[in-house]
Structure 1
């Protein structure tokens, strides 16, 4: 059977894109292929569950605009479908006077992004988070929490109701474009489609290369490891507590997140993963490792962040050092208060010149569309990313709603 659209990837971005297609073009024949035996198996199902407001991102960037809009559309989706969520707000705290200039600069960015963030003093910090040590903080009232796996499962249910063909355990192995469309070879057979949409996350660069697209970037997997507070110490954290980001490192640092199930996680660090889906410290894949270590841009990146990167690796190896990072925010945390929990892998695109891609990247060609960089806050922004993809479909999309 031929299809109008074939989507690769059953994470939240792929599912949200299929939803957007069915809403705008309800008569399309759509096929969604996911290589795992369940939806949201990787980045979506292993993130911290935060609905991001969009504070950190460059004003005018896709991350900034889509996170802000996405925080609203994701909450609306959860409300419409009875999915538990909580707009609990977030504190971004300065623990020393030296961090105040960075905190004020972040507040200016939040305001430039049109967010209702505000500065709070130590008294209000203690009221909101009694165990936090800080000299000042930003409070973001539009930040929240949700279980994105439940969101993804509901999206899949809606897609099935709308007639989308959903195929699990279907791994894309080869793509070839031709005059009439795209032929996709999988382990479950071959499929023809007018257009392909690549939402493959950790493998998005490989899928793009299969389609003959040279993006000028490669996915570098960074593993983020977490600890969980033991139940009797969960009272130390009421909501979301983040440090002021370190400008010398492109990640947010160890923070505390109260999950929607009431558990409290601390993390993540950020260390190179030697397997794209490597959730354990010793996970290794020869192809994945070779692609990273043979990429000259990676070594440029490694030299640039040698100091901070080394600290992240030491923190991965030492619970004592990881706990010390937590104690910067909550001094009363002890090593016996936390136990290891899940890890996630962030799919971060690295440009050929050694620069990390700091925004979402969506590339359109004649017969295919590729989401080439969609790390955090992509889960928050998933509905907006899907809508943007459908809005910008090439001329092939014109009239598809009437084709049967």
Structure 2
């Protein structure tokens, strides 16, 4: 009997975790991961701050909520089995003024609904946990943590290759051609046939779906996250993870402080629209992609709905002083001299034609493919659970 062949488009942590779960569920299958860069984890996976999220923020019953809670423990079990360093260091979400208490309370209640271990604490307990943080109240989430997602991705690649599967680098998919009941993925390094293919292309997820003949009903817009890093001698200002109370109308979590697994402490991010899907600097402009964004009705609807927030984020991007003002709300002691530039990241965010930011993970299917179209944060934390869900859908096609 012919063994199934499966191809994964995208060598980030979601694509690699999907391949890994397929390897577990379908041991006779031949799996090929196609990655357009010369290394895995080149974009969102390798450029985030490495937080293991708890599942506190997300709408109860949503894929984000369930995948984050379950995926966190699957990720941790993988790290323990493979000797990958991680730490459940805990986080505090801080209300810096009385007006934020109702939002903090609502967030705490959501955490309870999601089954997340968390506690409401006052200023005294906050000072015990984070002596330099300022706030009138906070939520303590002891199960939040840190890890290197690049290290996880590299280990997933190694395990796939050790089992005889392929991770092909420098292989952007340029065309998708139906082939009987399967599909041929054309790349500059050759054509790859698969009985079923999976799109995990991150910033290009919607393009891959359309290349497959599927209309996903959304467009990926890139949001650049800009960070600073605390000087080594000032890292003591943040013991673990210090977050503000997020704006519930906006999917980004605001400027926060993150101790990373290598000991560095990042502050950020701002979240501004990038002028290219991989626009890591303000000066990175890809005209074709910019025109594509500007011609999308959803972009203008989004701008109309959130222009005030957009102006605030742009000010943070352009003005270190304004950025510092946001950071000082959490840690009043920080000064401009404490901040060093740090690498930025770009978040792939699906937006519908009405300008609504798609709040949940979005997985769609076509006759020959399964597409992970929207997988922003906490996708890295959730990657093993997302991979399992996709693997179930792929396996069902052979069953």
Give the TM-score of the pair, scaled to structure 2.
Answer: 0.98
Q: Secondary structure at the match of 1:171?
A: coil
Q: Residue 284 of structure 2 corresponds to which residue in structure 1?
A: 283
Q: Residue 303 of structure 2 corresponds to which residue in structure 1?
A: 302
Q: Residue 45 of structure 1 corresponds to which residue in structure 2?
A: 46
- Name the CA distance, whole Å, in 1 between partners of 2:206 and 2:248: 27
Q: Secondary structure at the match of 1:358?
A: coil
State the 1:393 CA deviation: 2.4
Q: Residue 401 of structure 1 corresponds to which residue in structure 2?
A: none
**1:21-71 per-position Cα deviation (integer Å, ceiling 9, x unaligned):** 110111101111000000100000001100000111000000000001111
Q: Residue 102 of structure 1 corresponds to which residue in structure 2?
A: 103
Superposition CA RMSD, Å = 1.2
Q: Secondary structure at the match of 2:283?
A: coil
Q: Residue 91 of structure 2 corresponds to which residue in structure 1?
A: 90
Q: Secondary structure at the match of 2:174?
A: strand
- Name the CA distance, whole Å, in 2 between partners of 1:260 and 1:250: 25
State the 1:238 CA deviation: 0.1
Any conservation in 2 of the 1:100–1:136 contact (CA below 8 Å)? yes
**1:152-175 per-position Cα deviation (integer Å, ceiling 9, x unaligned):** 000000000111111000110000
- Name the CA distance, whole Å, in 2 between partners of 1:153 and 1:325: 35
- In the TM superposition, 1:57-72 aligns within 5 A as 57-72=58-73
State the 1:395 CA deviation: 4.5
Any conservation in 1 of the 2:10–2:202 contact (CA below 8 Å)? yes
Any conservation in 2 of the 1:71–1:143 contact (CA below 8 Å)? no
- Name the CA distance, whole Å, in 2 between partners of 1:386 and 1:192: 21
Can you give the 5+ residue segments of structure 1 that lack an aligned partner in the other structure?
399-404
Matched, 1:243 2:261: no
Any conservation in 1 of the 2:260–2:266 contact (CA below 8 Å)? yes
- In the TM superposition, 1:189-228 aligns within 5 A as 189-228=190-229
Q: Residue 184 of structure 2 corresponds to which residue in structure 1?
A: 183
Q: Residue 13 of structure 1 corresponds to which residue in structure 2?
A: 14
- Name the CA distance, whole Å, in 1 between partners of 2:117 and 2:396: 39
Matched, 1:331 2:308: no
Over 3 Å off, 4+ runs: none
**1:103-125 per-position Cα deviation (integer Å, ceiling 9, x unaligned):** 00000000000111110111110
Give the TM-score of the pair, scaled to structure 1.
Answer: 0.97
Q: Residue 370 of structure 2 corresponds to which residue in structure 1?
A: 369
- Name the CA distance, whole Å, in 1 between partners of 2:250 and 2:74: 30
Can you give the 5+ residue segments of structure 2 that lack an aligned partner in the other structure?
none
Q: Residue 345 of structure 2 corresponds to which residue in structure 1?
A: 344
- Name the CA distance, whole Å, in 2 between partners of 1:250 and 1:61: 14
Any conservation in 1 of the 2:26–2:395 contact (CA below 8 Å)? no
Greater mean alpha carbon deviation, residues 246-255 or residues 365-374: 246-255
State the 1:352 CA deviation: 1.6
- Name the CA distance, whole Å, in 1 between partners of 2:130 and 2:239: 6
Q: Residue 131 of structure 2 corresponds to which residue in structure 1?
A: 130
Matched, 1:261 2:262: yes
Aligned residues: 398
**1:342-387 per-position Cα deviation (integer Å, ceiling 9, x unaligned):** 1000000001221110000011222100000001000000000000
